[in-house]
Amino acid sequence: MTGSRPSRPTLQEQEADHLWWRDGVIYQIYPRSFMDSNGDGIGDLEGIRRRLDHLAWLGVDGIWLSPCFPSPMADFGYDVSDYCNIDPVFGNLEDFDRLLTDAHSRGIRVILDLVPNHSSDRHPWFQAARSSRADPKRNWYVWRDPKPDGAPPNNWNSVFGGPAWEFEPQTGQYYLHTFLKEQPELNWRNPEVVSAMHDIVRFWFNRGVDGFRLDVIHAIAKDPELRDNPEVDGVQLRLHNENHPDVHGMLRELRRLVDSYDARMLVGEVYLMDPAKVATYYGLGDELHLAFNFSFMHAPWDAAAFRTHVARFAALVPEQGWPDHVLSSHDARRHASRYDHATLGEERCRLAALMLLTLRGTPFLYYGEEIGMRNVEIPVNAMQDPLARTLTPQMCRDGERTPMQWQPGLGAGFTDGSPWLPFGIDVETRNVSRQMADPTSLLHLYRDAITLRRQNPVLHSGSFQTLDSAEQVFAFERRDGGTRALVALNFGTTPINPRLPAASVHGGLRTHRQSPLAGDAASLQLGPCEGAVLLTDG
């Protein structure tokens, strides 16, 4: 049981010094869409390398690359056919090494996206496994006989639609797949699989990679008896195929391996909407370094909702752990679209940025959010994401994966060819070069907030306390010894004095750059959807 393990020192005790993944800002890149260096319309590693100066200018401490390993791309890289190489569409291992070296020389760490729950059906492991019941790799995947009537072994559904079982006539058994049938489930109860995964982690760490984002890590352990999931009101509860208690032991083993290297980290996609369950994935500081809190990401535009989600997760993350916050990713509508508003859409982007970059917890940015990229409408017949086919076009994730808008003009600075997905209709006006030239732009606000965070440790390491304020305001205090930062975020459409405590202000940042900082925090006035961070004495 977890309770009998010795508790490890708190992060603060472990590391008095800077910890890059705790104190820094991490930026997610969807490699297909960041920068195309060879004109095929698809982003690649050399493209990312050529854009490192943008990331260094922005001030991020790390990049997380969505999968760039060889893949048939049934799920755009989340179906891996070789865990220790680079897909030719993205380049090769030499390109990767160059990117890593150049990122490191700018102080930027690199996190890869490991997909341990399933491989591609084209992976040589699965090719061997499916060839015969007697193959030594058979038990690397999950196979079961049909029921007497030929039906699948249990009632589990795939997240991507239909049953989670695919029948293979050649060997007369079903195999398990939580996602597409092209993504067969690896059997983590087989020690050979665990050891192969550990070898993959070593392979990349030895190359200099700084960490891994672990795809659907809460699903790697299944009920050993593969019992049916219960159904409530016709909806299947994923009781037996995710969040199984045995996953924690598997994570502890992995963490031991990670800890045998210097300053590496694991951030897990624990796609559970209950933050109390998510928090268990920190263990006692001996499982994940960070676990994504998706309840924050799915919060509506409402001060009270964010206040509640932040406070709840903060209270749940164990003392040895550290929170994190994310608003956009390759799997969800961009927050600039989710929170868009007829007149205050741009202000909301600015307020969201200030919130993300002043909370206690590692901020994860998604490429393009720094210029307020919106989801792009893709015609149904041009949709590429398999979800459009296996579920419904409404579930298509292409809209949040469109190419980065670098500059006006043909190809938008992304490609000399024809982009794999269309640019937003706003590409001529919403792009990096235009915002770079405008000191009042969202891009500059991101940069200034990241700089402020870096220069004022209270903003990354300080304590967090919600402050009483008006219902439409999310106000909080960060404190670190004698230094204090007061943050007030007005989610409402009317101006307000957030009633911050009286304190003399000596620095900070407002989302509306033209307004002066208040002399005294108590006199701060915020316009509609305006926010401010004020540095004051203790």
- Binding residues for ligand NOJ, rule: CB under 6 A, are 75, 78, 115, 179, 215-216, 269, 330-331
DSSP string, 366-423: ETTGGGTPPP----GGG--SHHHHHS-GGG--GGGSPPP--SSSGGGGT-SS--SSPP
In the chain the first and final C-alpha atoms are separated, in Å, by: 42
Question: Residue 182 Cβ, how far from ligand NOJ at the closest point, in Å?
Answer: 11
Question: Which residue number has the CB closest to ligand NOJ?
Answer: 78
Smaller CB separation from ligand NOJ, 215 or 530: 215
Q: Is 385 a catalytic site residue?
A: no
User: Which ranges constitute the DSSP H helices of 187-302?
Assistant: 191-207, 247-259, 275-279, 294-297
Q: Is 286 a catalytic site residue?
A: no
User: Which ranges constitute the DSSP H helices of 462-511?
Assistant: none
Smaller CB separation from ligand NOJ, 119 or 337: 119
DSSP string, 71-119: ---TTTTSS-S-TTS--TTT--HHHHHHHHHHHHHTT-EEEEEE--SB-
Smaller CB separation from ligand NOJ, 115 or 314: 115
Smaller CB separation from ligand NOJ, 54 or 177: 177
Of 446, 532, 445, nearest to 489 (Cα)? 532
Question: Residue 331 Cβ, how far from ligand NOJ at the closest point, in Å?
Answer: 5
Question: Residue 79 Cβ, how far from ligand NOJ at the closest point, in Å?
Answer: 7
In sequence order, the 6+-apart residues with CB closer than 8 A to the CB of 352 are: 327, 335, 339
Instruction: From the candidates 46, 185, 269, 370, give the one annotated as an active-site residue.
Output: 269
Q: Which token pair is 215?
A: 């795809």
Smaller CB separation from ligand NOJ, 75 or 242: 75
In sequence order, the 6+-apart residues with CB closer than 8 A to the CB of 165 are: 144, 152, 153, 154, 156, 174, 175, 176, 177
In what helix (H) or strand (E) does residue 532 lie, and over which residues does it extend?
A: strand 531-537
360 DSSP 8-state letter: S
| CA distance linking residue 310 with residue 323, whole number of Å | 9
| CA distance linking residue 300 with residue 491, whole number of Å | 11
Instruction: From the candidates 79, 182, 215, 286, give the one annotated as an active-site residue.
Output: 215
Rounding to the nearest 10 degrees, give the CA dihedral for residues 119, 125, 126, 132. Answer: -160
In sequence order, the 6+-apart residues with CB closer than 8 A to the CB of 428 are: 408, 409
Question: Residue 378 Cβ, how far from ligand NOJ at the closest point, in Å?
Answer: 16
Q: What are φ and ψ of residue 242, in 5° steps?
A: -150, 160
Other CB atoms within 10 Å distance of the CB of residue 31? 25
Smaller CB separation from ligand NOJ, 71 or 490: 71
Rg (CA), the chain: 24
Smaller CB separation from ligand NOJ, 49 or 177: 177
Question: Residue 326 Cβ, how far from ligand NOJ at the closest point, in Å?
Answer: 12
Other CB atoms within 10 Å distance of the CB of residue 174? 23
| CA distance linking residue 3 with residue 495, whole number of Å | 49
Q: Which token pair is 195?
A: 């050891």
Smaller CB separation from ligand NOJ, 166 or 286: 166
Side by side, which strands form the sheet with 173-176? 143-144, 173-176, 165-168
Smaller CB separation from ligand NOJ, 49 or 330: 330
26 DSSP 8-state letter: E
Smaller CB separation from ligand NOJ, 77 or 321: 77
Active site residues: 215, 269
